Amino acid sequence: MTHPDEKHVLDQLNEQGYVILENVLPQSVVEQLKQTVDEQMHSERDQPYVPGNHPAATGDDDLLETFLAESYSVSDDELERLVRRIRHTRSVNHDTPWPIAPKLVNKCFMHLPTLFDHDRSQRVWNLLTKGPDFASLVEHPEVLGIVRQVLGQDCILSDVSATSIGAGTQGGAWHVDVPLGQLPEPLPDFPLTTQNAWILDDFTPDNGATRIVPGSHLSRKKPKWSEGEMDGEVILCAPAGSVAIWLSNTWHRSGPNVTDQPRRAILCYYCRSWVQPFTDYTQGMSTEQAAELSPTTRYLAGFGARGLRRG
């Protein structure tokens, strides 16, 4: 399929805050990616990451009861795993406390659910460390070219993850992406990040396709963290193999999935070079894994894009 030229794509991103490129990936690649994602999701459901327990700290009740439990529809088991992950990471950071309330903390600094919608939906984080199939998406020339026009030629990855919106779920809350949720209004009048959703299952009105409010990025405001329909929203319907791109300051959410099948996507999330990335691949990736990546993907993953320790 012939895709719009780059100028047309950039014009729509600037004016509407989103764009869809249809049928970018061949079906054979989509099927391979679905298989890899499904295997990883199955593995992480069977053996979730549960670190050793560490002591509670002042403010943990606020973190659990007024932020995590209120912001995400998680099961008691997943909430307990989140607590252990957060306390473990705190211990690695020399038990250093946050100076502000959890609702004000940059989400890059805390663990978020891997299972949500009461365990019917799932995320897999850090995909670059979990299989070689995902690097080609990260540096896909057509999409990366657009991202670099928006964020600068030196932009980097913030995260690569997979999501599965489970059958019979109600959809997510309206939001703007990290770090804008932690910034005061008016928000910056230029994007800090772009989300790129590689569509593995056809996005339809019924199966949890992303909802967008066109032009909302121009308001320089954040939506109320809430579910339900929004005036002027559009549903990003597209066939598997397409990629939906939206700016970080565009209002969006996952829609309800009223079907009996999950809706899966891979999210390649890019940020300006000076923005705190969601995932630090330079710490979580082995030397062997880094060596298998191209120089382009290594740079996007943060290698060569961090300051040196000064002697």
Most confident of 69-73, 178-182, 207-211, 281-285: 207-211
Token look-up 């949500």 returns 116
Give residue-wise pLDDT tens across range 2-59. Answer: 567 889 999 999 999 999 999 999 999 999 999 999 999 999 999 999 998 898 888 8
First to last CA, the chain: 54
Residue 38, class by beta-carbon neighbours within 10 Å (0-12 exposed, 13-18 middle, 19+ buried)?
middle
pLDDT at residue 67, as a whole number:
80
Mean pLDDT of 299-306: 92
Is the CA virtual torsion 59, 65, 66, 70 positive or negative? positive
Shortest CA distance to 165 belongs to which of 120, 125, 197, 200? 120
Helix (H) or strand (E) holding 211: strand 210-212
Domains defined along the chain, listed by start: 6-46+120-300 (2.60.120.620), 49-113 (no CATH)
Instruction: Compute CA distances 217 → 16, 108, 162, 198, whole Å.
Output: 8, 22, 24, 21
pLDDT at residue 271, as a whole number:
97
Q: Give the count of beta carbons closer than 10 Å to the beta carbon of residue 72.
A: 18
Q: Model-level pTM? A: 0.95
Give residue-wise pLDDT tens across range 158-168. Answer: 999 999 999 99
Query: DSSP characters for 224-247?
Result: -S--S--TT-EE--B-TT-EEEEE
Token look-up 């409010």 returns 213
3-state helix, strand, coil in the chain (%, to 5): 35, 20, 45
